[in-house]
Structure 1
Amino acid sequence: MHVKKIYIRWMPYLLFLCFIFLVTTRSLAPFAVIYSIAAAILLAYLWFSKSKVRTKLALSFLYLIILALQQVLTALYLFSGGDSWMVFTIKKVAAILMIFVPFLIGYFHYLYTLQREFSIKEATSISFEMLREVYLIGAGYKTKWQKSKNSLSRDNLNEILKDIPRHSYTKYLNKNTLTEAYFEECEKSLKDEHLYIVISSTGSPASEVISLFTNKAYNHVSLSFDRDLKTIISYNGGENITLPGLNQEKITSFNKKSDASVIVYELQAPKEKKQLIIDKVREINEKGSAYNLVGLVTKVSLRPNIMFCSQFVYKILQFAELEYFRDSAAKIKPTDFVERDYYRKLAFCYEIKFNETL
């Protein structure tokens, strides 16, 4: 059971890494190997099943035809050469989608087999449930497909891939970005014995891609020392203005899509605890920081001040002994701060919906 949980937890991240590898590779070989392995797995499963020999022969022929078409299309069309970077990337996404074609054929055969193995009466009742289930699954896939189409748009992929070279996973890039004026504002907030946790649905390219794996609308979390968010900070990519790492944020920069929104919660924090956190933020600012882009997938940080947004917020709360649920900081998602508030430590403050306020 424990192995199954680990498998379920890590599979999305492994698939994400495979997807990134296949999108960025310039070689035909990985696709050829994956197509062949997929065909071999399906053929082995088919011939060990209890299907009739005639069915096995027909499906085997179909799988081999699909494999041949995959190899030919990939070699002659997708990797024909002479394409721009963007066209080549779109072609590779098409090549990735072709991996699932034989599995889809196998799934339809499975549904057909289920239908035939039951009596007329049983089949009638099961067919209805099956159709309902297939409809719901189809509707879910349609929604996900539409969402993934938007998230993996040409502009989003282009921006993400261009941003990758700006990051470092071993050294601090961002240093002394927070000014003395910022820390003066933090000191002014000490009379307000609250910290403010801000979760946001921004529509940034990175946020949209992350949402495909988290299935959450809100994929960024920030920390503020004041209710008006003058002192809001988090780990981010720097918006091409500052280097990736710990940065002060502007709420207006969160408005990157038509339904962008921000929700603000307050957490009780005595003056001494807030001062402790301000001092810690100052220390990180002086020592340096970097955004943990790789850690989003691997859940590993090579140095203490290399973090992503939710990792930072949780560690800061933990440092001041203000955390209200327990987990490894690298596993925390932005929505966990709300969803795992079992003891109701947070209080809702307000929500900003940019399409209504601007």
Structure 2
Amino acid sequence: MRDRKIYILLTDTGTVLTRMIRLYTKKNYNHASLSLDSNLEEVYSFGRKRPRNPFIGGFVKEDITNGLLHNAECVIYSCTISQKQYEEIQAFLNEIESHEHSYRYNLLGLFAFMLKKEIRRKNAYFCSEFVATALTKGEIVQLRKPPSFVAPHDFEEVGDFQLEYRGKLASFYHNKNHSYQLSLSS
């Protein structure tokens, strides 16, 4: 079995909600997503179901080619994983996707995070909680805190992840369409 790579995408979309979260975290990137392919053709997260309404959220397949993410500042990290780990994450994603209507955005959990209180809700995640859960289920990382306390910037400190790209997501997409593969840039 060959090793595979997964990708963590951290973004700053510049929305009102992101700016409010930034006031709290004092960090540049306040949204986390997960992708299983280097071109970021399928990017998964928990976020807005409708771009103009931050209150209707849940499991989303994000499109980096338009909308909120297209003009976002971002960093992309990769991690090499085994085929078994890849299959575990894929099974987790498939389970959520096949029961997508049962999953919600964990807005209550986000507020609990800010108050340093743990609230576990069935079938509800905020973005970094979702990514942390996927990485835990795939046995890729051993987190020092529960997924409900993981913030997007925490992924920048995980030793097994390598920085692949930093800049505008639109530039990444444009370069990708010109035979660009992820490569380290600052």
TM-score class, shorter:
0.7 to 0.9
Query: Which is higher, the Rg of structure 1 or of structure 2?
Result: 1
Question: Which of 196, 199, 203 in structure 1 is aligned with 2:10?
Answer: 199
Counterpart-to-counterpart distance in 2, 1:273 and 1:209: 35
Amino acid at match of 1:231: E
After TM superposition, give the deviation of residue 303 of structure 1 in Å.
2.8
Q: Shift of the alpha carbon at 1:352?
A: 3.6
Say yes or no: does 1:333 pair with 2:151.
yes
Q: Following TM superposition, by how much is the alpha carbon of 1:256 offset from its aligned partner in structure 2, in angstroms?
A: 7.5
* Secondary structure in 2 matching 1:337: helix
Cα offsets for 1:288-343 (capped at 9, x unmatched): 2100112111134453320100001001111111114321111111010113x2xx
Written as runs of structure 1 = structure 2, the 5 A alignment for 1:1-358 is 193-240=4-51, 244-251=57-64, 252-255=66-69, 260-287=72-99, 288-299=102-113, 300-339=118-157, 341=158, 344-353=159-168
Q: Spell out, residue by residue over 1:180-226, the C-alpha distance to the aligned partner (whole angstroms, 9 max, x if none).
A: xxxxxxxxxx9760110111111122111111111111000100000
Residue 253 of structure 1, CA deviation: 2.5
* CA deviation profile, 1:268-287 (whole Å, cap 9, x unmatched): 11112111111111112233
| Secondary structure at 1:244 match in 2 | strand
Matched residue SS, 1:234:
strand
In the alignment, residue 266 of structure 1 is paired with which amino acid?
S
Tell me how far apart the structure 1 counterparts of residues 169 and 136 of structure 2 sit (CA, whole Å).
32
User: Structure 1: which amino acid aligns with 2:16?
Assistant: P
Is the 1:200–1:254 contact (alpha carbons within 8 Å) kept by the matching residues of 2? Answer: no
CA contact (8 A) 2:46 2:130 kept: yes
- Aligned CA distance change for structure 1 residues 196 and 253 (closer, same or farther; 3 Å): same
Q: Which has the higher contact order (CA 8 A, sep 6+)?
A: 2
Residue 238 of structure 1 aligns to a residue in which SS? strand
CA distance in structure 2 between the partners assigned to 1:256 and 1:280 by the alignment = 26
Question: Residues 211 and 256 of structure 1: is their aligned pair in 2 closer, same or farther, counting only changes over 3 Å?
Answer: farther
Q: Distance in 2 between matches of 1:350 and 1:262?
A: 8
Alpha-carbon distance between aligned partners in 2 of 1:216 and 1:282, rounded to the nearest angstrom: 31
> How many pairs does the alignment contain?
164
- Aligned equivalents of 1:265 and 1:194: distance in 2? 10
Distance in 1, matches of 2:70 and 2:26, equals 19
> What is residue 184 of structure 2 aligned with on the other side?
none
Counterparts in 2 of 1:231 and 1:356: CA distance versus 1, 3 Å = closer
Amino acid at match of 2:4: E
Query: 1 CA distance for matches of 2:170 and 2:37?
Result: 24
CA contact (8 A) 1:301 1:307 kept: no
Cα distance in structure 2, aligned partners of 1:319 and 1:226: 18
Aligned partners of 2:46 and 2:105 also within 8 Å: yes
Identity within the alignment, %: 29
> SS of 2:131's equivalent?
helix
| Conserved 8 A contact 1:198-1:264 | yes
Structure in which a larger fraction of residues adopt strand = 2
Distance 1:285 1:301, change over 3 A: farther
- TM-score normalised according to structure 2 size: 0.78
Q: Name the SS for the 1:284 alignment partner.
A: helix
Aligned CA RMSD, in angstroms, stands at 2.5
8 Å contact 1:203–1:256 — kept in the other structure? no
Q: Name the SS of the counterpart of 1:237 in structure 2.
A: strand
